[in-house]
Structure 1
Amino acid sequence: MIIEILIMLFFILGVGNQNDGVLVLGATNIPWVLDSAIRRRFEKRIYIPLPEGNARTYMFKLNLGDTPHSLTDEDFRLLGQQTDGYSGADISIVVRDALMQPVRKVQTATHFKYVSGPSRENPNIILEDLLTPCSPGEPGAFELTWEQVPGDKLYEPVVSMRDMLRSLADSRPSVNDEDMDKLRKFTEDFGQEG
């Protein structure tokens, strides 16, 4: 789990007879709502900033995992650059939505075409009669709905950069400038940079 924004640590020493060396870790995105009594009990208050470009690039790769896709390293770098101000959770939401884009393509398709691809039962066998969604003007396109495609003949499109960009266009970062200003002020007053 990626802990963002703020991590507070403290050791409880000498509480009871058996609790020496207990580590208590707390995290919050809204530290300014903590009262002073709670803040005093945390020895360290460490601000962890939102991920930078390289970290966001890696998060896109990590969240996509081994899902079939057509993204290049350059595509991932571009996604990392275009998501300034996004948290790890925000990036996870964008990727989850992008993973649904191929399903939406299949469900909304009015035309399909034949393609080659691996068999579902045995990926080492290549079938020539799989069906994938396409636009009506594509060569080999014929009118068909996804409900008419036999399940074992459906070749789902892979996740593409276009899918990622479409999902990104529909999302916004969950942390706004006002929250960032409050976090900077809290760090100046009570914390330290991570």
Structure 2
Amino acid sequence: MDQLHRDISSARRSAKEGAYSHSILLYTSTLGQMNKMMTEGAIESGRSEWIQARSKLSNEMAMVKKLEKEVNELKIGEDGGEIAPSDPDVWPPPPPRKTTQGVKRGGGVKGGMGRSREEEKRGERRTDKSLLRKSNSQNGIDRRDRDQPQLRKGESSEAKEGGGKNSEEEEKRREQLARYDRELVETIERDILQTNLDVRWSSIAGLDDAKKLLKEAVILPTVLPQFFKGIRRPWKGVCMVGPPGTGKTLLAKAVATECKTTFFSVSSSTLTSKYRGDSEKLVRLLFEMARLYAPSTIFIDEIDSLGGRRGSEGEHEASRRVKSQLLVEMDGCSVDADKPVLVLAATNFPWELDEALRRRLEKRIYIPLPDLTARESLLKIALDEVDLAEDVNLAEMAALLEGFSGADMTNVCREASMMGLRRLTDALDAVQIAALANQKVDLPVTRDDLLSAIRRTSPSVSQKDVDKYGMWMKEFGAV
């Protein structure tokens, strides 16, 4: 009872002080407690007085809610002007239009009545251009903010403030990107531009042929630009084909880290917009930015979802327009030899690719399942951070993992590294586990742990799928 009195007093005091939300919360809590007490039969006498008190508190809460609503409407009125009546069946009136005023050469301001016909036409033309610049996806964005695109991610403050050649190049880039909507430019910079991936060639086991080709396609043209001209021009596109989990994305990350190029990582969702025409603009802007920040690498993961075969059943018109724009940009992305742009693609379904897109991806290489040597190297890399028991023979384990992809082998190593902790904590509760010292928890991985993990894990790629990739590479491969 004392708690109810305190809550009621606090609710009324908060209402007097203008804290309506807090007051309503206290009223709601008090009424809930009263209803619970009356329902459970805790009130033996004076039930009618309790009902009257509950009705009075309900009326007080309704008044507080009404006051809060009026205050909120006043705040909206101060921000947005006169409050119009709300009717869901009637469209709201258009926002007030600002009157454009002409400025005299001497600095005076002329009213709308004093403007000449030529000045009025110039003002209308200027207004029409500003309206054309503002796409559906740009409503509510300040024009000054749209006209100045941001710098790249990972760029230091010295590069922003420094003068000389870098500042001139950055100014040219801004001028080139100023004709695009600022929101689209920010989408490219925020979702696509990737830096500091920290994946080295040494982090990838095997795949020596793929590494050699990527070094030839990305590194050599930047080191020997005078050589890669004419018929020796750099490759425009490289497509990595293979089962899932074989390291295609890791190779792309290694290209971004080792080759010191601007790296754009693209998926179908990045280049998709609900506004008509914005998807094509994003594709065009992507390649425009890649040329401005050249040498660049555009990595398109799961390219089959973006560049599937045209004319297939159920294909949407918007998807076809995006594919057409992508094909146009890829054909013209290597016109300037001084600004090389490489399109690096990866797919698990190469037979779904459009014929024209397949032609533009000049190099089509197969990323196979790891062989015996690569599997042993991968085990060394995956188990580098854990202690191994003396009875562990990685060559023996690699022989048992035939048919496993790189991702499957990583899962096996992760499973084996958890075996010691599971044995240690099986009979312990949470308090005892927290009291364990770190040196007791980090137990070495034994041979039995690896064998048990291999028995528990099955390969994710079947031999039938491997044969299918081999047939496609025999027909369309270009290594």
Mapping of 1:132-147 within 5 angstroms? 145=428, 147=431
**Residues in 2 aligned to 1:26 and 1:189: alpha-carbon distance in whole angstroms:** 19
Q: Does 1:155 align with 2:473?
A: no
**Residues in 1 aligned to 2:393 and 2:360: alpha-carbon distance in whole angstroms:** 45
Q: Does 1:89 align with 2:374?
A: no
**CA 1:96 to 1:71, structure 2 compared with 1: closer, same or farther past 3 Å?**
farther
Q: CA deviation at 1:18?
A: 5.9
**Residues in 2 aligned to 1:25 and 1:107: alpha-carbon distance in whole angstroms:** 46
Q: CA deviation at 1:151?
A: 2.2
Question: For residue 187 of structure 1, what is the aligned residue in structure 2?
Answer: 473
Question: For residue 242 of structure 2, what is the aligned residue in structure 1?
Answer: none
**CA 1:151 to 1:166, structure 2 compared with 1: closer, same or farther past 3 Å?**
same
Q: Quick one: which of 51, 65, 70 aligns to 2:384?
A: 65
Residue type matched to 1:159 in 2? V
Mapping of 1:21-170 within 5 angstroms? 21-71=340-390, 75-109=393-427, 145=428, 147-148=431-432, 150-152=435-437, 155-156=440-441, 157-170=443-456
Residue type matched to 1:176 in 2? S
**Residues in 1 aligned to 2:477 and 2:399: alpha-carbon distance in whole angstroms:** 28
Q: Which structure 2 segments of 5+ residues have no match? A: 1-198, 218-234, 237-329
Residue type matched to 1:46 in 2? I
Q: CA deviation at 1:35?
A: 2.2
More relative contact order, 1 or 2 (CA 8 Å, 6+ apart):
1
Q: CA deviation at 1:170?
A: 0.8
TM-score (norm 1): 0.68
Query: What SS is found at the alignment partner of 1:158?
Result: coil
* Partners of 1:47 and 1:192 within 8 A in 2: no
Aligned residues: 155
Residue type matched to 1:162 in 2? D
Give the % identical residues.
34
Q: Which has the higher strand share?
A: 1
**CA 1:71 to 1:93, structure 2 compared with 1: closer, same or farther past 3 Å?**
farther
Superimposed CA distance per residue, residues 21-69 of structure 1 (whole angstroms, 9 cap, x where no aligned partner): 2111112222122222221111011112211111101111110113112
Residue type matched to 1:104 in 2? R
**Residues in 2 aligned to 1:159 and 1:13: alpha-carbon distance in whole angstroms:** 52
**CA 1:189 to 1:14, structure 2 compared with 1: closer, same or farther past 3 Å?**
same
Query: What SS is found at the alignment partner of 2:461?
Result: coil
Superimposed CA distance per residue, residues 138-168 of structure 1 (whole angstroms, 9 cap, x where no aligned partner): xxxxxxx365463238623311111111111
Q: CA deviation at 1:13?
A: 6.7
**CA 1:154 to 1:80, structure 2 compared with 1: closer, same or farther past 3 Å?**
closer
Cα RMSD (Å) of the superposition?
2.9
**Residues in 2 aligned to 1:61 and 1:172: alpha-carbon distance in whole angstroms:** 20
**Residues in 2 aligned to 1:103 and 1:158: alpha-carbon distance in whole angstroms:** 10
Query: What SS is found at the alignment partner of 2:344?
Result: strand
**Residues in 1 aligned to 2:331 and 2:354: alpha-carbon distance in whole angstroms:** 22
Bigger Rg over Cα: 2
**Residues in 1 aligned to 2:460 and 2:438: alpha-carbon distance in whole angstroms:** 40
**CA 1:182 to 1:16, structure 2 compared with 1: closer, same or farther past 3 Å?**
closer
Q: Which structure 1 segments of 5+ residues have no match? A: 110-144
**Residues in 2 aligned to 1:148 and 1:14: alpha-carbon distance in whole angstroms:** 65
**Residues in 2 aligned to 1:40 and 1:182: alpha-carbon distance in whole angstroms:** 20
Stretch deviating more after TM superposition (42-51 or 15-24): 15-24
* Partners of 1:47 and 1:187 within 8 A in 2: yes
Q: CA deviation at 1:98?
A: 1.0
Query: What SS is found at the alignment partner of 1:62?
Result: helix
